[in-house]
Structure 1
Amino acid sequence: MNLNDKQRVEMANWEYASLDVGDPIKIKDIGTVGYVEEIVDNKETGEQAYIITPEKLPKNPTSSDLNKVTNVTVLYRGSTMPGKGDDWVKDWINTDLPAGSQIIGGGQQKPPAQFKSASQTLDNAMSRYKNAMFDVYGHSLGSMNGQYAVSDTKYPDRIHAAYLYEGPNIHSLLNDTQRKTAEKLNQRIFNYIDDKDYIAIGYAKASTVGMLIRIDSKKASDAIEQHMWGGYQFDKDGSIRTTTNMKIQLKMAQVDIVMQDQLKTLALLATRLTKSGGHLSASEQIYLDSSEVFIIVDGVASMVESSFSEIIQVCRQAIKETEEHWQDTVQRAQNVASHLSYYEVMDALTSGGATKARIMDEPVTYYEEKIAKAEKIKKEYQALVTEIKAGIEAQLSLDSALAKELQL
């Protein structure tokens, strides 16, 4: 499911909705993206979650039905409002407060029971949908549950991505094995934090579960709204506002996920092409050997093109803003010290550490290097596309039956 940052926040927000099995999950400008297949409401621990599948399954799905599901989304719900029913006690008293105390004070690692049941929910779903990759979403307490679940899973290779928002940092509560899993999945776990949100604690100079993304937020009307994504800002294309460097890191991680998706598509193709004897024909093997590169290059080429074009655009905008910042710095200094000459103003700025080299030249050089690297990769992909297509088409022409089966 290819969503932008804004749409992913909308997806995560569904965790707070009152849903029934079979209800559709809809995203603005896209429509229905899935259906509620299972509702988790653990009365003992307070954990609440929704299991979402892309297609609506029969009321009593067969093993064949379940095995056809290739993607599952798990939405972990955040804390119930204090005083609302009995569940808030399990969320706040039994989970949030003990976890927060350990995160702030350190000491013994003792994950709350809800964390463990959240992990069990994920692994149970992975056992049920044996051929599916999993996307995990969570906000606040749901983020903590998600952080723990993906770090504790028995099947880390089946985590497609995790999008976690405004949850305290639980890295210190993990054991060594869980930390290794979290590190392995670092480029697939996107941990969004608004520094104006008082709930998102434990991130100052600490290891984290996943890639930490400090957003460029605005001040919301109150603390609750700030916590509930009220400070989040998005560009016109739905990208979340953050630092230029983080935008580049995010885009590179997203490209890597798509490349891995293409390789899995190739593996499924290999299964389909395998004949009754259990072996690939010579032509089929040659096709797959070539296609491992072809799928990456041609299947991802358009995204690589657009992704690096976006990175280049971001870098060029950063260069423009950096140059304007230097000019503004000089202008403001001249306005304040109007009695000094231009060279005296420059000497004063230099003595205070505000040099042109530090403020403008070094950042501009950094971004120009990023642009050059992106341009180089784009050209390499374009050359490979042409070369690989020619090679594969030449091989397939030797086996018209295979070409017909593949419809190329």
Structure 2
Amino acid sequence: MTANFSDVDLQVISKIQYKNGYKPGDEIGYTNINGEWERIGYLYQTIDNRDTGLYTYMVTDRPVSSEADFEQVKSVHVFYRGSEGFLSLITDNAAFKKDWYENDFPTAWQIVNKIKEEYTPQLIDASNVLNESMKQFPNAYFDLDGHSLGGMDGQFALSEVKEPERIRSAVFMNAPGLAPILTPEHMKWTQQVKNRTVQFYDRYDIVQKFGNLELYGLDSHYSDLKTLAMNPRASGYIRNRLLEEQWEKYTRPMDTVGRLVMIDAKRVDFVSQHIYGGQQFDSYGRLLLSNTIQNDDLILKEWRKSVELYDQLYAKGVIKKIAQIRREYQAYSEKSPGGAKIYLDLGVASVLIDGVRALLSDNVQRIHLDLDRMLAQAEEIWAETQAQLVQFAPTLGIMEANAHLSGCGSSYSSVVGPIQEFVDKQKQVLLSLEVEYMELLTSIKNNATELWQTDSNNAARINF
């Protein structure tokens, strides 16, 4: 999964979790908005745990035929499947009961009543599967996908993931929000992947209303609206408008796992609404967003930028270094419990700073090249102008050609000069920003190191 997918591609990718018939080694992918086949990877494993109801696809970037391939895998895409449909009441009654009676209904009750520290078997299983897979593929980053119950599975897995820096992205659709039932420690853990996690919210999807929005600012006006809306003599239009439009003024997104993006949903039937039916796209494959309660366009844009930054840091080896530091943390914490957390934070901060410094240098160099290319193009335009004039007036020499161009108000200084001036000015600004930013990064790193050293010295004095 790359950062160049369209919004409609996200929906198509999410639907992969509901497709059946895959076998280990099968190529998994989708047809993008341009009609081109995009490969996500190869099915490594289908997890169908009948005890918990968890159904998950594990897709790797290359075929895996033996344990020797585990360390070669660079990316793993985890698809958490949602609840079994109502047809399964007949075709697979046991699976239906696992999803609905042992997971969906109990979790919905917990969300409404904000009951924490009680999690269903499937949520726990989803967390275990992710952490075990991370051990199995130690050098891979992970993308998560989940719809409905699968989205809840993914949210809970993120709240207990052992190496959050290896989560590249997470996309959840039509899923209730788990934040009301997660402990403060769980929510604190999800903050480490918040900017790379996005949940798409459909206000007409009844299932998704659990745990995502809350009412606030209730007053007499709200009470009047509620009374009118519940009046059996009110028309369906009035009830719908009051319930779905006016009440929106008194709702706001709750604290969530990741970022909540509210779509500009269309109304369809109850079942279709929950199965991606409310999503609308423009001709470019962009999802129509609400932007009424918050700036949804900006949130989705920031999510994409976070994934792009992750890819850059991964390419620089930063993600791998952070994962290694976290593994070393376990050994360090046994020797120095007091300084272990600061050791971890310092190590991660130092690696991130070094990674950002490397990205900064790369980008500065790229901008320099772009500026030089701009100047070279101006030079080429001037040379081509001279050549064309000489070609059409072969009796003129280059000096005469320049004189005629100057008489027309065109000269090297008027064509190339402004570009040269712009390029020189931008390079000066770039140099100033680079020096300033490098000094800031160095200062942050020095301060963090000093803090860790002070903590270690104090711990040693009291034999801690």
- Shorter-chain TM-score bucket reads 0.5 to 0.7
Please name the residue that 1:265 is paired with.
Answer: 315
1:297–1:270 distance in 2 versus 1, CA, 3 Å: farther
Structure 2 residue 56 is the aligned partner of structure 1 residue 49: yes
User: In 2, distance between residues paired with 1:93 and 1:22?
Assistant: 34
Partner of 2:324: none
Q: Distance in 2 between matches of 1:100 and 1:112?
A: 11
- 2:267 is matched with 219
1:39 aligned residue: 46
2:149 to 133, 138, 141: 141
Residue 294 (1) aligns with residue 361 (2): yes
Identity percentage of aligned residues? 28
Deviations 1:228-284 (CA, angstroms, capped at 9, x unpaired): 10110122332211145211222123113212321221237999xxxxxxxxxxxxx
Q: Assess, with a 3 A threshold, how the Cα gap between structure 1 residues 102 and 235 changes in structure 2: closer, same or farther.
A: same
Q: Report the alpha carbon displacement of residue 48 of structure 1 after superposing the two structures with TM.
A: 0.6
Structure 2 counterpart of 1:189, one-letter code = T
Taking structure 1 as reference, are residues 267 and 300 closer, same or farther at Cα in structure 2, changes over 3 Å only? farther
What's the offset of the Cα at 1:300?
A: 11
- Report the 3-state secondary structure (helix = DSSP H, G, I; strand = E; otherwise coil) of the residue aligned with 1:34: strand
Change (3 A) 1:224 1:101: same
Q: Aligned letter for 2:105?
A: L
1:394 maps to which residue? none
Which residue pairs with 1:400 in the alignment?
none
SS of the residue corresponding to residue 59 of structure 2 reads strand
Match of 2:212 among 203, 212, 228: 203
Contact 2:263-2:279 at 8 Å conserved across structures? yes
Given that residues 168 and 199 in structure 1 are in contact (C-alpha distance below 8 angstroms), is that contact kept between their aligned partners in structure 2?
Answer: yes
3-state SS of paired residue (1:163): strand
Question: Which amino acid in 2 is paired with 1:139?
Answer: H
Q: Which amino acid aligns with 2:101?
A: I
1:168 to 150, 155, 176: 176
Is 2:24 the partner of 1:21? yes
Give me the whole-angstrom Cα distance separating, in 1, the residues matched to 2:41 and 2:26: 9
SS at match of 1:185: helix
Q: If you compute each CA radius of gyration, which structure gives the higher value, 1 or 2?
A: 2
**Hey, what's the Cα distance between the residues in 1 that align with 2:297 and 2:59?**
28
Structure 2, unmatched stretches of 5+, are 215-253, 322-353, 369-421, 435-464
> Does the Cα contact within 8 Å between 2:318 and 2:355 map onto a contact in 1?
no
- Work out whether residues 43 and 58 of structure 2, in 8 Å CA contact, stay in contact via their aligned partners in 1: yes
- 1:236 maps to a residue whose letter is S
Aligned counterparts of 2:427 and 2:125: Cα–Cα separation in 1: 47
Q: Distance in 2 between matches of 1:289 and 1:98?
A: 44
CA distance in 2, matches of 1:288, 1:212: 28
| Partner secondary structure for residue 283 of structure 2 | coil
- Corresponding residue for residue 126 of structure 2: 118
- Tell whether 2:205 aligns with 1:158: no
Aligned with 2:307: secondary structure?
Answer: helix
In the alignment, what sits opposite 1:5?
A: 7
CA, structure 1 residues 108+128, in 2 after alignment: closer, same or farther (shift >3 Å)? closer
Aligned match for 2:75, one of 63, 68, 71 = 71
- Aligned CA RMSD, in angstroms, stands at 3.0
Alignment partners' CA distance in 1, 2:146 and 2:278: 17
By how many angstroms is 1:77 displaced? 0.4
Cα distance 1:252–1:269, how it changes in 2: closer, same or farther (>3 A)? closer
CA distance in 1: counterparts of 2:169 and 2:70, whole angstroms:
21
Task: After TM superposition, give the deviation of residue 68 of structure 1 in Å.
Answer: 1.8
Q: Which amino acid aligns with 1:247?
A: D
Opposite residue 174 of structure 1, the aligned amino acid is L
Distance 1:67 1:297, change over 3 A: farther
What are the Cα deviations for residues 53-104 of structure 1, in whole angstroms up to 9, with x where unaligned? 12222x2241xx2212111100000011241311111100000000011111
Judged with a 3 Å threshold, the aligned counterparts in structure 2 of structure 1 residues 203 and 265 are, in CA distance, closer, same or farther, namely: same
Please state how far the C-alpha of 1:387 moved relative to its aligned partner.
Answer: 5.7
The residue identity in structure 2 corresponding to 1:141 is L
Once the 2 structures are TM-superposed, how far is the Cα of residue 13 of structure 1 from its aligned partner? 0.5
Q: TM-score, normalised by structure 2?
A: 0.58
Task: Give the conservation status (yes or no) of the 8 Å contact 2:17–2:57.
Answer: yes
Kept after mapping to 1: 8 A contact 2:106/2:120: yes
- Secondary structure of the corresponding residue to residue 213 of structure 2: coil
Are 2:112 and 1:80 aligned?
Answer: no
How far off is 1:202 after superposition? 2.1
Distance in 2 (CA, whole Å) between partners of 1:79 and 1:117 is 15
Alpha-carbon distance in 1 for matches of 2:355, 2:199: 36
Aligned to 1:233: 280
Deviations 1:330-372 (A, max 9, x none): xxxxxxxxxxxxxxxxxxxxxxxxxxxxxxxxxxxxxxxxxxx
Note the C-alpha offset of 1:189.
0.9
**Per-residue deviation, residues 151-181 of structure 1 (Å, max 9, x unmatched):** 1111111111100011111112212221101
Among residues 107, 110, 121, which one is paired with 1:99 in the alignment? 107
Is the 8 Å Cα contact of residues 163 and 189 (structure 1) preserved in structure 2?
A: yes
**1:69 is matched by which residue type in structure 2?**
V
1:187–1:253 Cα contact (<8 Å) kept: yes
Give the counterpart letter for 2:168 in structure 1: H
Secondary structure, aligned partner of 1:209: coil
